[in-house]
Structure 1
Amino acid sequence: MLLAVAFILLNLTACNMNPLPRNMNLQAFDPHRADFVCKHEVDVNPPITAESEALFQQGMAVTSYELLPKQRDHAKAAELWKQAAALGHWKAAMNLAGLYESGQGVPEDTEQAVLIVEGLMKQGVPAAFDKMGTYHQRGIGVNDDTSRAYAFWQLAADMGSPAAQAYLGSKLKATYDNPGQGFWGNRDVALKMLECSFAQGNGDAAYTLALTITGDNRSLGEDNARALKIYHDGVKLGSEKCASSLFVKFDRTTPLTGNTIDTARSDRYGELAQALELNPDLRFPNLDKVLPLPPAELPMWDGKRKTLVDAAIALVALPAVKPTPGSQSSGRAHIPQGHALKAQPHPVVVEATSSVPHSGYWLPRLHAIYREHERAWDNAQVPQRYAKGEVFETMDRRSMGAYANTATRTVWQFLGDAVAVVQSSHPRVTQGIARTTRVPEESLRCKGMLSCPRTGVWAGQVAKDHPLARLYNRWDRFAYVEKGQSFPNPEDQHIAIAPHEVRWLWLDNANQIGPSRRTEVSLSDLHGAQDPLKT
């Protein structure tokens, strides 16, 4: 165990930066700083390989909140995250440090946790500096020191940590100082920090930002319409606090919701808040499919929380289904779609004149091969299914020409029955935070500055060489958009990407028209779902 950890730490600390240990010199926390320059952690974090990401996701799957506590395998996750960390996966290393903090899956060892975080600090990972601040605040592996904690959080925020930006933004958003209560009046800087964190997808930042700008004081930048939109976007980002706030706000008369009580919307936000409390890893990028903001009408809902969650979560887009070998054949040669024969045939071989001893697929073969035309005939044969007790049919040898009647006898080799091909599930699907869908064979794409041409779920991305591609091109970058509406504008989330720079791919999943002729929440997946706005 210790050798494995030492190996990880050796990889984590291999870098060109100067040492940045837990006792590094720090610039004192300045709550009255004059400005803040937004930076994004994805621009400085080490790149993550596909192999290490797969290991990381497997660890997330075996510790998913969808599992009962006794079913979560932290020991297995620790081994997977050690492997991923050894390949340079900084998130896996952070999770591994968390296991050493709590003693889950590994012996409790706060020193190992701090060493892992120090290794990430040497790689310039902003989240590691944020974590070191938490260690100093709580006295985990170091002496508790609130002043150093704030200094670390300040450094982490300046480096691009969205968590540190959200936390400090919440501390600086007041209009006056009260150090004894732990907050200061530096609203302009606080808003910049919160907006920067919000742009990186931090739900806590969305909540604090919306809370800060709620009201009618224009001189302070308060704007209820904008605040409502940010609360709603915070729910998409997985903020239980945003969902709970809107659950309360829509259930009473408040300026935020136009002093209009809307219990139907309140109920849905309440269900999503409870879902997020149970599984904080959930994200609802397709929230507008089940819960659009007013004045849009709500689609009919069956009242089940699972329906809301499944319709609103992210999608794992699978390629179009390709026919499996034999599925397009007819007669005895047909193999059901999604099934296949075992790679190794059975040793059972019988004469063509025998009755079939076992149900399953049999392959005709020549008992012996002496000439090239015999080999060609033999290679052209395909498996055929016979039931036990049937008689093998006489094989057509006319393709062998003059040798058709003189060729060696035919025998049949047993291949067994076709078995269903097990499709490996994507780890995010296993975690319950995504569901699969199919990419339409006839793809429909649209640039973001145009009106939506068809209702459904759309996946948005910018070109890979775009300077903000690592920030924007995320696993949960989807949107439910109805025909004629505008696509989401990245600038509304403080991401400096113009709408025309985003290309959106249609993934179907439009709600359907039910028997009552009203739109109903559905989980359509290329099954001919009726588009309520398609002409």
Structure 2
Amino acid sequence: MLLNTPKISSWMTLSTFAISTALIPACSLSNLPRNMSLKTFDPHRKEFACNYEKIAEPPLDQEAEALFREGLSATSFELWPDDRDYEKAAKLWTKAAEKRHWQAMLNLASLYLEGKGVQRDNERGIQLVEELMVMGLPRAYDFMGTLHMNGTGVNQDATRAYAFWSLAAEMGSSDAQAYLGDRLDATYDDPTKAIWANRAIGHKLMRCGYSQENGKAAANLGLRIDVNGDHLQALQVLHDGVKFGSEMSAIFLAVGFDTGGTKANHMKDEDRGERYGAIADLLHLNPDLRLPNLDKVLPLPPAVLPYWDGEKESLIDGAKPVKTVSLDDIKPSPASLREGRAHIPDGFVLPDEPQGGHLVQHLHTDAVMGGYWLAQLRKPVTPRQVAWNAAQVPMRYEIGEAFDKTPEGITKDDGVFRFHYLGIPVPQAPEAKYVPDWRVPQGVMREVPMPARELHSTGLLPAPATGIWHGSVDPGHPLAKVFNQWYRQSYVEEGQAFPDPRDRGLDISPKDIQWRWLDQANRPQPSGRKEITIRNFSQVETTQTNS
């Protein structure tokens, strides 16, 4: 899930094995990463180069990933706090950590440092952070800075904390970039308040975090832009912050639209304010939420505000990422629900080729083979005749049983019809049980039916249809690891431009992005507003037919 890095309290998530002795000689504690030599934090630095943490993150072992996900399910924000099983998660993340799954290690370390699901053990937690530092993970350096600031398992040392955070920001940690950017965004130096006057670099740090879709960076940046007087741009940045899962951005806009304040570009709109407030409430409950399709339920002015039923969950459902699922993936064969001659036992299907070869018989003859036969008009011409053929289902006849009854819906004027032999049912090949995407039970993704048509577009062209679009770049692109994410979606109206990553600081040309259409458009209402079309897709809700 999405891991946050508080700078005052310890993290919420990490694993159990110690640093390899091959990497850390036992002769001196000074060789431990926690005690590494650091360049002193310079609040008045003149340069900062933006790096991205996704590029530095190691690949994940798939078996370990399954263990990690199971641990997330046990501690999901969708569960009541008392129902979260941290002990189970700790065991699962320990196994994943043994395979060097960095996210599991990160989560398990936090459990040790907080004593959740395991006996509190600061040393074990710090060792895991150190192992991640050796792996080159920017978040681990950010985490180590927090440990030094809080004095958790190490001597409390603000100077080393800021040195670690500075290094983490340079390596690409978006949390460190957001935090330090905010600290440098002052008009005067006051180390006692941890603020310094270096707005040029502070702005670059926040911009880099914003380009990585860090919610805290977006909130801090939007606030600074608003203070500088560009209220329209501040509104856009804060709106993006809500998409990134920033509760604070949602609060800023809720108050701004409710009062007509600067953060809403002096636009008073209590309906919009109410929606941002509702979203802020749910982001507080589930910080893992990402809302890339926010424009579907809460577009910026002057766009028409869609109809809302007043339920907070409907706003979140409409704004969260979606995953398309084919009906064929989740519904059982309708044949098992048929009755009489048309029934085929559950777990069985007709063979691809009938046993004994293809046979055709006419009315008033006896079946020469037992099994399933399909009645079909020989030359369907009219739409009714074509539809009749398509509606027929296989029917079972025993050997010697007569085809002595004209099928319902057919007359002599429809011409010749025949019975085609389809064979005897055979056991159905075992299929993988339908399992929803693991993010669906976590409450951060919603399943929708597969669109009736495939629709693609390059980012250079206006959207050919209204709906939710998923974007990706070629895996060989230098920023593919940054851009190609499961939440890389956007709700776009027909004729509008697709999002341009350069607006957020990513050097990716729209021509390099391929967008795929995922979902239907909102439906216009007589009032001029639009209906928020939300459909949660599950096996339970699937309807069956007999065709």
TM-score range, shorter chain: 0.7 to 0.9
Q: Choose from 115, 127, 150 the match for 2:127.
A: 115
Rounded to whole Å, the distance in 1 between the matches of 2:304 and 2:48 is 40
* C-alpha contact (below 8 Å) 2:330/2:434 kept by paired residues: no
What is the Cα deviation at residue 314 of structure 1? 1.1
From 270, 273, 277, the equivalent of 2:280 is 273
Match of 1:341 among 341, 346, 355: 346
CA contact (8 A) 1:60 1:427 kept: no
Secondary structure, counterpart of 2:475 in structure 1: coil
Q: 2:449 aligns with which of 435, 438, 461?
A: 438
SS in structure 2 of the partner of residue 429 of structure 1:
coil
Residue matched to 2:201 = 189
Choose from 487, 502, 514 the match for 1:491. Answer: 502
> Alpha carbons of 1:110 and 1:342: their partners in 2 closer, same or farther (altered >3 Å)?
farther
For residue 96 of structure 2, what is the amino acid of its counterpart? A
Distance 1:413 1:317, change over 3 A: closer
Cα distance change, pair 500–414 in 1 and its aligned pair in 2 (3 A): closer
Please say if residues 372 and 397 of structure 2, whose CA atoms lie closer than 8 Å, have aligned partners that are also in contact.
no
| 2:45 partner amino acid | R
SS at 1:430's partner residue? Answer: coil
CA deviation map 1:29-76 (0-9, x unaligned): 110111101111122221123333332222212211110011111112
Match of 2:231 among 215, 224, 237: 224
- 1:87 pairs with one of 74, 96, 99: 99
What is aligned with 2:322? 315
Residues 113 and 120 in structure 2, CA contact (< 8 A), matched pair in contact too = yes
Partner secondary structure for residue 132 of structure 1 = helix
| Alignment-derived partner of residue 64 in structure 2 | 52
Distance 1:261 1:435 in 2: 32
**Pick from 165, 178, 185: which aligns with 2:177?**
165
Matched, 1:481 2:488: no
Q: Is the 8 A contact 2:370 2:397 kept in 1?
A: no
2:133 partner amino acid: M
Deviation string, structure 1 residues 499-526 (Cα, Å, up to 9, x no partner): 1111111012321234656411111589
**When the two structures are superposed, what TM-score results if normalisation uses the length of structure 1?**
0.79
The answer as to 2:227 corresponding to 1:207 is no
> In the aligned structure 2, how far is the partner of 1:11 from the partner of 1:80?
24
Q: Deviations over 1:459-506 (max 9, x none)?
A: 111111111000001111110000111111101111111111111110
From 241, 250, 263, give the equivalent of 1:243: 250
Q: 1:190 to 1:515 in 2, by over 3 A?
A: same
The answer to whether structure 1 residue 139 and structure 2 residue 151 are counterparts is yes
Distance 1:116 1:13, change over 3 A: farther
- Give the aligned residue type for 1:394: E
Q: Deviation at 1:325?
A: 7.9
Among candidates 294, 308, 317, match of residue 287 of structure 1: 294
Answer yes or no: is 1:96 the counterpart of 2:108: yes
Deviation, structure 1 residue 341: 3.4
User: How far did residue 320 of structure 1 move?
Assistant: 5.8
| Amino acid paired to 2:346 | L
Counterpart CA distance in 1 for 2:161 and 2:95 is 30
The residue aligned with 2:398 is: 394
Whole-Å separation in 2 of the counterparts to 1:362 and 1:293:
54
SS of residue in 2 equivalent to 1:503: strand
Corresponding residue number in structure 1 for 2:463? 452
| AA partner of residue 209 (structure 1) | L
C-alpha change, 1:288 and 1:331, in structure 2 (3 Å) is: same
Q: Which residue of 1 aligns with 2:313?
A: 306
Partner of 1:77: 89
Residue matched to 1:28: 40
Between the aligned partners of 2:133 and 2:432, the Cα distance in structure 1 is: 45
> How many angstroms apart in 1 are the aligned matches of 2:79 and 2:330?
34
State which of 516, 519, 523 in structure 1 corresponds to 2:534: 523
Is this contact kept in 1: 2:304–2:529, CA < 8 A? no
- Structure 2 runs not aligned, ≥5 long: 1-14, 25-29, 358-366, 374-395, 403-423, 538-547
1:381–1:78 CA distance, 2 compared to 1 (3 A)? farther
Cα deviation digits, residues 84-119 of structure 1 (max 9, x gap): 222222111100001101111111111100000011
Superposition CA RMSD, Å: 3.6
Cα 1:439/1:147, change in 2 over 3 Å: same
Contact 1:198 1:206 survives alignment (8 Å) = yes
Q: 1:465 aligns with which of 459, 463, 476?
A: 476
Change (3 A) 1:186 1:323: closer
How far the C-alpha of 1:441 sits from its partner, in A, is 5.0
Residues 132 and 149 in structure 1, CA contact (< 8 A), matched pair in contact too: yes
The residue type equivalent to 1:229 in the other structure is: Q
What CA distance in whole angstroms lies between the structure 1 residues aligned with 2:237 and 2:314? 24
- Do 1:326 and 1:333's aligned partners in 2 also have CA atoms closer than 8 Å? no
Q: Distance in 2 between matches of 1:135 and 1:382?
A: 71
Q: CA deviation at 1:413?
A: 12
What amino acid does structure 2 have at the position aligned with 1:445? Answer: H
Alpha carbons of structure 1 residues 502 and 334: separation in structure 2 relative to 1, 3 Å: farther
Q: Take 2:226 and 2:240, find their aligned partners in 1: how far apart are those partners?
A: 15
Distance change >3 Å, CA 137–CA 511, structure 1 → 2? same
SS in 2 for 1:184: strand
Equivalent position of 1:355 in the other structure: none
Paired AA for residue 147 in structure 1: T
Question: Offset at 1:158?
Answer: 0.7
Unaligned runs of at least 5 residues, structure 1: 344-360, 364-371, 384-391, 399-411, 527-535
> Partners of 1:446 and 1:460 in 2: how far apart?
9
Aligned length, in residue pairs: 463
Residue 517 (structure 2) pairs with residue 506 (structure 1): yes
> Distance between the aligned counterparts of 1:479 and 1:12, measured in 2?
47
Kindly provide the CA deviation profile for residues 334-361 of structure 1, in whole angstroms up to 9, marking residues without a partner as x: 579xxx8359xxxxxxxxxxxxxxxxx9
Pair 1:429 & 2:434 matched: no
CA deviations 1:337-395 (Å, max 9, x no partner) are xxx8359xxxxxxxxxxxxxxxxx999xxxxxxxx979xx9x99679xxxxxxxx9634
CA apart distance, 1:270? 0.3
CA contact (8 A) 1:326 1:334 kept: no
- Matched residue SS, 1:214: helix
**Which residue does the alignment assign to 1:260?**
267
Contact 1:13 1:119 in 2 (8 A): no
**What residue in structure 2 maps to residue 177 of structure 1?**
189
Indicate conservation of the 8 Å contact 1:81/1:96, yes or no. yes
SS at match of 2:267: coil
Sequence identity of aligned pairs in percent? 43
Residue 64 of structure 1 aligns to a residue in which SS?
coil
